[in-house]
Amino acid sequence: MVANSATLKSKEQLIEKWGKQEVISGSEMLLRSLLLEGVDCVFGYPGGAVLYIYDAMYGFEDFNHLLTRHEQGAIHAADGYARSTGKVGVCIATSGPGATNLVTGIATAYMDSVPLVVITGNVATSLIGTDAFQEADIVGITMPITKHSYLVRKAEDLPRIIHEAFHIANSGRKGPVLIDIPKDVSNEKALFKPHTEVKLRGYNPTVQPNKQQVDKMLRAIEQAERPVLLVGGGAVYSGAHEEVLAFAEKTGIPVTTTLLGLGAFPSGHELHMGFPGMHGTWTANMAIQESDLLVNIGARFDDRVTGKLNGFAPNAKIVHVDIDPAEIGKNVPTDIPIVGDVKAVLQQAVAGAKYASKADAWRALIAERKAAKPFAYRDSDEELKPQWVVSMIHETTHGDAIVTTDVGQHQMWAAQYYPFNQPRSWVTSGGLGTMGFGFPSAIGAQMGNPDRTVVSINGDGGMQMCSQELAICAINNIPVKVAILNNQVLGMVRQWQELIYDNRYSHIDLAGSPDFVKLAEAYGVKAFRATNKDEARTAWEAALAHDGPAVVEFVVRKGENVYPMVTQGSTIDQMLMGDDE
């Protein structure tokens, strides 16, 4: 595998190495500054406007760059690296089409609050605004989907800008920061001075909460008879999984974790109800709807969680804990707002929390419901069911893998049938729902976690959007294990057309897809195919045993649906239960 952080020099070693004042190019400043931020892998694709930067990489042994086969692959890999490690992901692309190919990945990270530093080249400053070859106003194009942007005017500003960008991306509500570097700036010479301080007037995220608001929440919990903790991605991003567990156990409140919050609370815990919303558990959805106190910890009340807003948690007092004050009250009226970092809020709350003694009957009811209506499907010995495949993957990896997914039915089955007991083990595009995300994000996750098993669960549709990244797995021996649930159709679209559009199936047939085994082998990747349970288990175990990348194509039932399902316009207690109904 490509060199990882263990082979790179420490920040102290680098500062000592570069301690003397030197006049160097902007490109060299960029590379040095990235290393000083602890960057151990950059994902990118070169082009004319960044050639000075790539020239500076030549012979720069301390700098680790992974050449992807598409800019979208680069930014999704950086995203997967960031989500799975908690560090800032970094990618580089050239101007014009190189930069615009990053837009979907930037929006993906922005929607899910993922810290990225996105570096683009631009035409020379003298050509900006002239419609020069491969010129695009990438700062303007991405303004709505970045946390902050820089257009670098002077090489000497690069060390400061890099340091600020990492601080902004990975503090407060995390998100992508764009740095656009004109070609002449990347070649300009200036005195290199490592930057170690951040002074940003007007940017001071609230980390510590207002104690009075925390006390109000604790008093509400003491009085509640039907409380629920709704735990979102913010709990993962703040590293608050231990605090979430301590708070839930001290108060005895049942917990539901959103799609991006999976892993923030152990799935096997007696208080865990699964995830809520469109394809969530019957227990979690009913609990939210019947609750008298809903404590939202780091979730943003996404429409896939709430369903019909004016019927969501109709009898509940709402507590909302979020580091971004703009989220509080945006979708759901809030009775007790708490602005602050989730970890800091829960550390303060745990100290004063008491057991919710009035909720004993509620806890008993939740336990009964969990036992009565778990996720269920009708298994088959004739056809390979996707739910069985995901359960088998969970069993054979002992639930310890990092799992990335693309978007669609397989994403929901992975969330339903692969329980997570530790944070940063689940990497998926939640807010934007980006097809093509799953496989390259697994590459980034593997680069950031070389000692863990990384499994990429994909559909046959999304896999074809970034399948060219199989090349870098083969070349660099990146041992990602790829599971393709091939139902020869755009499954989630087909499900909607069946249930909502009266079986009018329009443009969803993927029967012309390639032979995925041959495709993988063409790139030099070990590949297998399975059409029944015996073949599936044998192929998957062989893939896991292989010391490099491997692809397994599971040919699954075409007409399988994801249940439960809440259709748009319904409240989340109005669930279609499928075969159980």
Largest CA distance in the chain: 73
Cβ neighbours, 10 Å, residue 191: 11
514, 523 contact by CB (below 8 A): no
C-alpha to C-alpha distance for 365 and 381, rounded to whole angstroms: 35
Q: 450: exposed, middle or buried (C-beta count within 10 Å: 0-12, 13-18, 19+)? A: middle
Helix (H) or strand (E) holding 295: strand 293-297
User: 115 preceded by cis ω (within 30°)?
Assistant: no
Q: Which one, of 372, 374, 393, 373, lies nearest residue 384 by Cα?
A: 393
Length of the chain: 581
> Which tokens in the block code for residue 153?
């005017």
Task: Return the DSSP state at 571.
Answer: B
CA torsion through residues 490, 493, 498, 501, sign: negative
Q: 290: exposed, middle or buried (C-beta count within 10 Å: 0-12, 13-18, 19+)? A: middle
C-alpha to C-alpha distance for 544 and 78, rounded to whole angstroms: 24
* Tokens 């939202």 belong to residue: 296
Residues marked active site are found at: 71, 133-134, 183, 492
C-alpha to C-alpha distance for 279 and 453, rounded to whole angstroms: 27
Phi, psi of 562 (to 5 degrees): -90, 120
C-alpha to C-alpha distance for 397 and 544, rounded to whole angstroms: 8
